[in-house]
């Protein structure tokens, strides 16, 4: 009885202390709850508001990046289109030199030849020929001077410096204040000397008008930095901002970095600047997004946040009332339990504790199948039930972890299988016989890629070689790549010409293309009996030709339209002749975009030199150089290459 009495007194003391503490706690909570609730709600709203602003900024930066890349594609496509036109004119001049026609006779028909090459010539573009003797012949546009000094004329010097490759000038200003840039290429006489240059002058307003229409938001701006001094062709701010140290420092950072993004305050506006450099020129395109436009996008979300805050306040009021009921219920339960314990202090009080202790020891040793028996309905019984529930939940959780691990392993295995299947769709081995050798290489940036290549005999005398790049990466690109490869192969094999084959594949891919995916491709059809080549370009990087003497040139072609975007498009077919020993090198942009740990791109210049210095096996030397250059840095894009060698003609 002494033990029971002491236990009773101890329990009564516990009850008194707990009751007092709960009552005082309730009073304190009721007194300070208003200010506490408001502080917690305000802090939560501030944190959520910050997250909303950050997400909105990220979305706008993504839009800016897309806009900049689109404008770069417009500029590059137009420069490529103009370059192709003047290259055709230069080749025409060289062909007539080879036929023995003198300069006077050839110049008299030069403008007719220009119209024959391209009836779509834009009359707003001045195109003219400057001969080595200084004569000037206008082909399209406004007439220019009839004679110039070739030693000082900037257009002649620009074209002659390219050694047969189109050259793009800086942005210049004529005597009327109009801005333009020149694209020039030289042509040679029978002795290999420069006989003249073909020049097209492009009004810069053609690029500016496109950029004005692509600004994001009410306060957004687009502009272009067109030389290393940070010169912009249009005052999109105001003289006070353009002359400020802040803007000069911003331009300096843009010119130094060439690609990237930054936040900067100009005048009374804060902007996010996304900028990228063009490939063919030193121009850097910039998209400026105002912070006001970013903030406006999150207003609707903030309104929803305010409504949620009001609901939280109502909920906390409900919780305070519930707390009072819980306190009263707890006090009542404690008193009832105490009365029961006082009158039943015996073995029935101690035994359940021992049973519970024994069961807990078994559980702690790892036996999760143990089920504790609840012999009482008091706190000990509740604790027993809690342990049983905990054991069951723990066991179930372990099973779930096991299932999740199995599912993850299955997903990884399926992805590896898909990658294996995708690799299996590429040619299993090089195409190598006594007449030709065609060998490709493909390395996706992710488990699944979008690049592919192909080489196959259509019949005994004709070989097709294909290289292509699907937009985007991962599973969507891989699926589109699979469909595109099969369509290209079947269309080319079952069409009367290579351009008709690409048109058929493009029409099929363009139908029901809801995701607007597309494929850039370059396709050649080679007659191994005489080296004659028919080829078509669908928006892809132009391949290189390496002659046996080590000279390098780029295949000439219109940029064309990528496959899958425009049903009914008519592709242009071009022709050329391969001599024995000539090599063709095809590639995707992942080669030039390969980066090292310092963020430096491999570049077109390095790639051309590697091809120039390579032997018959171009790919092995270039792959070794890419590996040494990247130094293990993460691969930015899929890398795909294809080398073709015309060993000898089939007699």
Q: How many CB atoms lie within 10 A of CB 423?
A: 13
Model pLDDT, residue 349: 55
565 or 248, higher pLDDT? 565
Residue 190 CA: distances (Å) to CA of 100, 194, 637? 9, 10, 43
**Lowest-confidence range among 50-59, 146-155, 215-224, 464-473?**
50-59
Q: What is the mean pLDDT of residues 411-434?
A: 70
Supply the pLDDT for residue 118.
Answer: 47
Would you say the C-alpha torsion 543, 284, 160, 83 has a positive or negative sign?
Answer: positive
Quote the distance between the C-alpha of residue 570 and its chain's center: 29
**81: its two tokens:** 């289109």
Alpha carbon distance 106, 133 (integer Å): 14
Residue 625 CA to residue 493 CA, distance in Å, equals: 36
Residue listed under structure tokens 């080595």: 132
- Nearest alpha-carbon partner for 537 in 86, 189, 81: 81
Is residue 197's pLDDT more than 60? yes
Residue 540's CB is within 10 A of a number of other CB atoms, namely: 24
CA 586, CA 432: separation in Å to the nearest integer?
Answer: 17
Tokens of 524: 């050649």
Q: Is the pLDDT of residue 416 over 60?
A: no
Three-state DSSP state, 288: strand
Max avg pLDDT among 11-20, 57-66, 130-139: 130-139
Rank 106-120, 327-341, 342-356 by mean pLDDT and report only the highest.
Answer: 327-341
Cβ-contact 553, 545 below 8 angstroms: yes
Q: In terms of DSSP bridges, do strands 260-266 and 269-277 run parallel, antiparallel, or are they unpaired?
A: antiparallel
Find the mean pLDDT for residues 104-130: 66
Contact 290, 56 (CB under 8 A): no
* Cα–Cα distance, 353 to 384 (Å, whole number): 9
Residues 274-303 as b/e (b if ≥16 CB within 10 A, e otherwise) read bbbbbbbbebbbbbbbbbebbeebbeeeee
Residue 43's pLDDT band (cuts 50, 70, 90) = low
Pairwise CA distance, residues 322 & 317, whole Å: 9
Residue 300, Ramachandran bin (φ over 0: left; ψ between -120 and 50: alpha; else beta)? alpha
Strand arrangement of the beta sheet that strand 431-432 belongs to: 431-432, 436-443, 639-646, 583-587, 544-546, 552-554
Rounded to 5 degrees, φ, ψ at 179 are -95, 140
Find tokens 């417009």 and name the residue.
Answer: 74
Q: What is the distance of C-alpha 243 from the center of its chain?
A: 35
pLDDT at 316: 58
Report for 13-17, 103-107, 466-470: range of highest mean pLDDT: 466-470
Residue 174: the pLDDT is 77
Q: For 156-169, how does the pLDDT look when each residue is reduced to its tens digit (9 = 90+)?
A: 999 999 888 899 88
| Stretch 571-576: mean pLDDT | 96
Highest mean pLDDT among 272-286, 448-462, 527-541, 630-644: 527-541
Cα separation, 6 vs 380, whole angstroms: 20
What's the CA gap between 212 and 429, in Å, rounded? Answer: 50
C-alpha 432/C-alpha 646 separation (Å) is 10
How far apart (Å, rounded) are the C-alpha atoms in residues 426 and 419?
11
pLDDT tier for residue 117 given thresholds of 50, 70 and 90: very low
**Average pLDDT rounded to a whole number, residues 27-38:** 54
pLDDT at 493: 92
- Report the half-sphere exposure of 285 (CA within 13 A, side-chain side): 26
Q: E strands of 506-555, at which residues?
A: 519-527, 532-538, 544-546, 552-554
Strands (E), 159-243: 167-168, 172-173, 179-188, 194-203, 221-225
Q: How far apart are CA 447 and CA 429, in angstroms?
A: 21
Q: Are residues 443 and 423 in contact, defined by beta-carbon separation less than 8 angstroms? A: no
Mean pLDDT of the chain: 78
CA distance 555 to 338: 96
Report pLDDT for 172. 80
The mean-pLDDT minimum among 183-197, 217-231, 588-602 falls in 217-231
- Please report where in the chains the tokens 């009552």 appear, as a residue: 23
- Say which DSSP state 447 is in: S
Q: Looking at 24-104, which runs of residues are DSSP E strands?
A: none
C-alpha–C-alpha distance, residues 606 and 613, integer Å = 11
- DSSP class of residue 1? -
Taking 80 as the threshold, does the pLDDT of residue 241 lie above it? no
Give the per-residue pLDDT at 534: 97
Out of 40-44, 76-80, 589-593, the most confident range is 589-593
Between CA 384 and CA 377 the distance in angstroms is 10
């Amino acid at each position: 009885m002494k033990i029971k009495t002491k236990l009773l007194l101890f329990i009564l003391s516990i009850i008194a202390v707990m009751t007092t503490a709960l009552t005082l706690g309730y009073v304190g909570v009721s007194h300070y709850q208003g200010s506490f609730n408001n502080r917690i709600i305000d802090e939560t709203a501030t944190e959520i508001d910050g997250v909303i602003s950050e997400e909105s900024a990220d979305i706008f930066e993504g839009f800016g990046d897309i806009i900049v890349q689109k404008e770069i594609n417009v500029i590059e496509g137009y420069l490529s289109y103009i370059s192709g036109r003047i290259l055709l004119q230069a080749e025409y001049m060289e062909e007539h030199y080879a036929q023995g026609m003198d300069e006077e006779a050839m110049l008299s028909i030069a403008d007719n030849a220009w119209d024959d090459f391209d009836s779509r010539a834009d009359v707003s573009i001045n195109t003219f020929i400057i001969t080595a003797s200084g004569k000037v012949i206008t082909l399209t546009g406004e007439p220019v001077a009839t004679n110039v000094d070739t030693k000082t004329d900037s257009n002649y010097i620009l074209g002659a410096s390219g050694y047969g490759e189109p050259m793009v000038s800086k942005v210049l200003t004529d005597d009327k204040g109009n801005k333009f840039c020149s694209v020039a290429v030289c042509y040679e006489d029978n002795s290999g000397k420069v006989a003249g240059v073909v020049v097209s002058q492009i009004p810069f307003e053609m690029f500016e008008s496109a950029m004005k229409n692509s600004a994001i938001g009410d306060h957004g701006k687009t502009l272009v930095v067109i030389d290393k001094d940070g010169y912009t062709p249009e005052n999109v701010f105001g003289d006070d901002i353009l002359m400020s140290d802040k803007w000069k420092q911003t331009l300096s950072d843009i010119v130094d970095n060439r690609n990237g993004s930054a936040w900067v305050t100009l005048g009374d506006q804060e902007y996010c600047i996304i900028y990228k450099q063009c490939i063919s020129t030193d121009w850097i395109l910039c998209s400026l997004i105002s912070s006001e436009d970013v903030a406006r996008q999150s207003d609707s979300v903030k309104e929803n946040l305010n409504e949620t805050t009001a609901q939280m306040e109502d909920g906390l009021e409900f919780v305070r009332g519930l707390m009072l009921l819980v306190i009263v219920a707890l006090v009542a339960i404690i008193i009832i339990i105490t009365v029961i314990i006082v009158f039943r202090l015996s073995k029935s009080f101690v035994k359940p504790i021992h049973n519970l202790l024994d069961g807990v020891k078994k559980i702690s040793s790892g036996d999760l199948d143990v089920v504790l028996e609840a012999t009482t309905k008091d706190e000990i019984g509740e604790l027993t039930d809690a342990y049983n529930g905990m054991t069951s939940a723990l066991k179930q959780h372990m099973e779930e972890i096991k299932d999740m691990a199995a599912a993850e392993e299955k997903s990884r295995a399926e992805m590896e299988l898909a990658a294996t299947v995708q690799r299996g769709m590429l040619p299993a081995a090089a195409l190598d016989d006594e007449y030709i050798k065609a060998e490709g290489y493909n390395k996706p940036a992710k488990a699944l890629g979008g690049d592919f290549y192909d080489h196959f005999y259509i019949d005994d005398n004709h070989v097709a070689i294909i290289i292509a790049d699907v937009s985007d990466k991962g599973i969507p690109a891989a699926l589109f790549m699979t469909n595109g490869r099969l369509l290209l192969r079947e269309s080319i094999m079952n069409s009367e010409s290579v351009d008709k084959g690409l048109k058929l594949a493009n029409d099929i891919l363009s139908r029901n293309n809801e995701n607007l995916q597309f494929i850039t491709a370059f396709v050649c059809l080679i007659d191994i009996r005489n080296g004659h080549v028919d080829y078509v370009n669908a928006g892809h990087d132009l391949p290189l030709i390496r002659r046996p003497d080590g000279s390098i040139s780029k295949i000439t072609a219109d940029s064309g339209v990528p496959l899958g975007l425009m049903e009914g498009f008519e592709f242009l077919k071009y022709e050329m002749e391969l001599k024995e020993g000539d090599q063709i090198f095809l590639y995707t942009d992942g080669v030039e975009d390969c980066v090292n740990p310092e963020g430096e791109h491999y570049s077109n210049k390095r790639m051309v030199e590697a091809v120039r210095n390579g032997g018959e096996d171009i790919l092995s030397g270039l792959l070794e150089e890419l590996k040494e250059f990247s130094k293990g840095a993460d691969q930015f894009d899929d890398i795909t290459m294809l080398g073709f060698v015309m060993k000898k003609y089939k007699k």
